[in-house]
Amino acid sequence: MAADTVLRPPPPHSGGARPPRIAADRMPRHVAIVMDGNGRWAQQRGLPRSEGHRAGSVAAHEMVYGALEIGLRHLTLYAFSTENWKRDTGEITAILEGVRRDLDAGRIRDLDVRQRWSGRPGRLPEELVQAFAHEERRTRARTGLTLTVCLDYGGRDEITRAAAALARAAQAGDVVPDLVDEVVFARHLPHPDMPDVDLLWRTGGEQRTSNFLPWQATYAELYFTPGPWPDVDRRDLWQAVAEYGRRRRRHGAAVPLASPRKPPTAPSAPL
């Protein structure tokens, strides 16, 4: 962190909403969000889809502020997938330039946020990758929230690249193939320190995970909301986290009984 950076708290909610207090054992460690519905939001208003992405960026910033206010440690946002290249060039440019503008505007630069990019190398504009690398260097010592922005991200691509890295390590003699287990494999993911996703939230009414964090989200609680992404603000994140706190997570274990049952009493002997 640059010595002259004074970290400030996030700006308050515009309507004065205050963050809830969340018990430590009800708090997800990692929330991942599929920010869906920008295009429909814009089309419903007779606006170009790019305006939906612009409004979506405001909502993304709200999530960062809301996450900091409740003390969330990891937030991962799906901003552009490996499949989104199928969209028309104008829309792709609007999304990528919008993210670049956001980085340059630096609205989260002085918050306690460690910023980084996750995605496939080699296809995004080089200056965008450099801008992320710069933010990552500036913020790497921060301990509040880790914000991972997924751009040209695909879960299968991420797993495939991890497999390739593992194969290279085996070829170099650094890994013994017969000893590869989940822990060894995960060490070869592009962000090995990313914890498992506890809560995966998707807006916009669709109920699928769309190639988002398949390795990390195998046991995530799924949460789907009908409204489009630009309509959410930090209160919706708080609601999602509250819903997470009500879920019972078992990770494959059996459901414990609420209270131990008494053994059945023996029928009384006939008189």
Q: Which two tokens stand for residue 44?
A: 């419903």
Of the pair 39, 119, the CB lying nearest ligand FPP is at 39
| Contact predicate 27/241, CB 8 Å | yes
Residue 32 near ligand FPP by CB under 6 A: no
Give me the count of residues in the chain. Answer: 271
Confirm whether residue 85 is marked as ligand binding.
yes
Between the two ends of the chain, the Cα-to-Cα distance in Å is 85
Confirm whether residue 51 is marked as ligand binding.
no
Contact set for ligand FPP, span 89-108 (CB under 6 A): 95, 98-99, 102
Please state, in angstroms and as integers, the Cα–Cα distance from residue 52 to each residue in 94, 167, 239, following that order.
10, 42, 23
Q: How far is the CB of 115 from ligand FPP (least distance, A)?
A: 10
| Contact predicate 189/156, CB 8 Å | no
User: Which of 84, 112, 157, 211 does the annotation list as catalytic?
Assistant: 84
- Helix or strand or coil: residue 73? coil
Confirm whether residue 174 is marked as ligand binding.
no
- C-alpha span between 158 and 252 (Å, rounded): 25
Residue 152 annotated to the active site: no
Contact set for ligand FPP, span 180-239 (CB under 6 A): 204, 229
Of the pair 38, 175, the CB lying nearest ligand FPP is at 38
Q: Which x/- pattern, by CB under 6 A, does the window 62-81 give for ligand FPP?
A: ---------------x-xx-
- C-alpha span between 22 and 6 (Å, rounded): 27
Contact set for ligand FPP, span 168-187 (CB under 6 A): none
- C-alpha span between 29 and 76 (Å, rounded): 11
Contact set for ligand FPP, span 4-23 (CB under 6 A): none
Residue 21 phi/psi, 5-degree rounding, is -90, 125
Of the pair 65, 229, the CB lying nearest ligand FPP is at 229
| Contact predicate 142/116, CB 8 Å | no
Site size for ligand FPP, by CB under 6 A? 21
Residue 84 annotated to the active site: yes
Confirm whether residue 82 is marked as ligand binding.
yes
Contact set for ligand FPP, span 121-150 (CB under 6 A): 149
- Helix or strand or coil: residue 27? coil
Kindly indicate which of the ranges 31-39, 154-162, 173-181, 245-253 contains the residues binding ligand FPP, using the contact rule CB under 6 A.
Answer: 31-39
User: Which of 25, 36, 157, 198 does the annotation list as catalytic?
Assistant: 36
Confirm whether residue 231 is marked as ligand binding.
no
Query: What are the helix (H) ranges across the chain?
Result: 38-44, 49-70, 89-105, 126-139, 155-171, 182-186, 234-246
- C-alpha span between 67 and 133 (Å, rounded): 23
Binding site residues, as ranges? 36-41, 49, 53, 81-83, 85, 87, 202, 208-210, 221
Residues in the site for ligand FPP, rule: CB under 6 A? 35-40, 53, 56-57, 60, 77, 79-80, 84, 95, 98-99, 102, 149, 204, 229
Residue numbers in the known binding site for Mg(2+) are 36, 221
